[in-house]
Amino acid sequence: MAPMQNKVICALVLVSMLALGTLAQSQTETCTVAPRERQNCGFPGITASQCTSRGCCFDDSVRGFPWCFHPNAIDIPPEEECEF
Protein backbone atom coordinates (compact mmCIF):
# COMPACT_ATOMS: atom_id res chain seq x y z
CA MET A 1 0.00 0.00 0.00
CA ALA A 2 1.03 3.56 -0.59
CA PRO A 3 2.02 5.66 2.43
CA MET A 4 -1.02 7.91 1.90
CA GLN A 5 -3.38 4.93 2.09
CA ASN A 6 -1.79 3.84 5.37
CA LYS A 7 -2.37 7.29 6.85
CA VAL A 8 -6.01 7.27 5.75
CA ILE A 9 -6.57 3.81 7.24
CA CYS A 10 -4.93 4.86 10.52
CA ALA A 11 -7.09 7.98 10.66
CA LEU A 12 -10.26 5.95 10.05
CA VAL A 13 -9.33 3.45 12.76
CA LEU A 14 -8.67 6.28 15.22
CA VAL A 15 -11.99 7.99 14.46
CA SER A 16 -13.84 4.67 14.82
CA MET A 17 -12.22 3.98 18.19
CA LEU A 18 -13.12 7.44 19.46
CA ALA A 19 -16.73 7.05 18.31
CA LEU A 20 -17.08 3.66 19.98
CA GLY A 21 -15.57 5.00 23.19
CA THR A 22 -18.06 7.88 23.25
CA LEU A 23 -20.94 5.49 22.57
CA ALA A 24 -19.83 3.17 25.37
CA GLN A 25 -19.54 6.09 27.79
CA SER A 26 -23.03 7.38 26.98
CA GLN A 27 -24.43 3.83 27.30
CA THR A 28 -22.82 3.52 30.76
CA GLU A 29 -24.28 6.85 31.86
CA THR A 30 -27.80 5.99 30.73
CA CYS A 31 -27.56 2.52 32.29
CA THR A 32 -26.83 3.85 35.76
CA VAL A 33 -30.22 3.01 37.24
CA ALA A 34 -30.82 2.22 40.91
CA PRO A 35 -31.99 -1.41 41.25
CA ARG A 36 -35.35 -0.34 42.73
CA GLU A 37 -35.98 1.96 39.76
CA ARG A 38 -35.28 -0.63 37.05
CA GLN A 39 -38.11 -1.33 34.63
CA ASN A 40 -37.90 -4.82 33.15
CA CYS A 41 -36.98 -4.98 29.49
CA GLY A 42 -36.37 -8.68 29.08
CA PHE A 43 -37.56 -12.13 29.98
CA PRO A 44 -36.29 -14.82 32.36
CA GLY A 45 -32.98 -16.18 31.12
CA ILE A 46 -32.23 -13.34 28.69
CA THR A 47 -28.54 -13.01 27.85
CA ALA A 48 -26.55 -9.79 27.90
CA SER A 49 -26.32 -9.73 24.10
CA GLN A 50 -30.07 -10.33 23.68
CA CYS A 51 -30.76 -7.54 26.15
CA THR A 52 -28.45 -4.98 24.56
CA SER A 53 -29.74 -5.85 21.09
CA ARG A 54 -33.14 -4.63 22.33
CA GLY A 55 -31.54 -1.30 23.27
CA CYS A 56 -31.69 -2.11 26.97
CA CYS A 57 -29.14 -2.29 29.77
CA PHE A 58 -27.85 -5.51 31.36
CA ASP A 59 -26.50 -5.83 34.90
CA ASP A 60 -26.75 -9.17 36.67
CA SER A 61 -24.85 -8.08 39.78
CA VAL A 62 -27.94 -7.36 41.90
CA ARG A 63 -30.20 -10.32 42.67
CA GLY A 64 -33.94 -9.78 43.08
CA PHE A 65 -34.13 -6.95 40.55
CA PRO A 66 -34.40 -6.97 36.74
CA TRP A 67 -31.10 -7.73 35.04
CA CYS A 68 -32.30 -6.46 31.68
CA PHE A 69 -33.86 -3.03 32.11
CA HIS A 70 -34.72 0.14 30.25
CA PRO A 71 -32.03 2.84 30.29
CA ASN A 72 -32.51 6.20 31.95
CA ALA A 73 -34.27 8.70 29.75
CA ILE A 74 -31.87 11.48 28.89
CA ASP A 75 -33.43 14.83 29.57
CA ILE A 76 -33.28 16.67 26.28
CA PRO A 77 -34.35 20.28 26.50
CA PRO A 78 -37.06 21.22 24.00
CA GLU A 79 -35.80 22.97 20.92
CA GLU A 80 -36.42 26.67 20.84
CA GLU A 81 -38.49 27.96 18.00
CA CYS A 82 -36.94 30.50 15.72
CA GLU A 83 -38.86 33.72 15.31
CA PHE A 84 -38.82 35.19 11.85
* 27-67 tens-digit pLDDT: 446 899 999 999 999 999 999 999 999 999 999 999 999 99
Residue 30: which H helix or E strand, with range?
Answer: helix 3-30
Q: Is residue 26 part of a domain?
A: yes
* 25-38 tens-digit pLDDT: 344 468 999 999 99
Q: Is residue 80 part of a domain?
A: no
Q: What is the pLDDT of residue 83?
A: 67
How many CA atoms lie within 13 Å of 51's alpha carbon, on the beta-carbon side?
A: 22
Q: Is residue 36 part of a domain?
A: yes
Q: Is residue 41 part of a domain?
A: yes
Which CATH number belongs to the domain containing residue 57 in this structure?
A: 4.10.110.10
Number of domains in the chain: 1
Query: pLDDT band for position 74 (50/70/90)?
Result: low
CB 68 within 8 A of CB 57: yes
The Cα–Cα gap between 40 and 5 comes to 47
Which structural domain, as residue segments, surrounds residue 48?
3-69
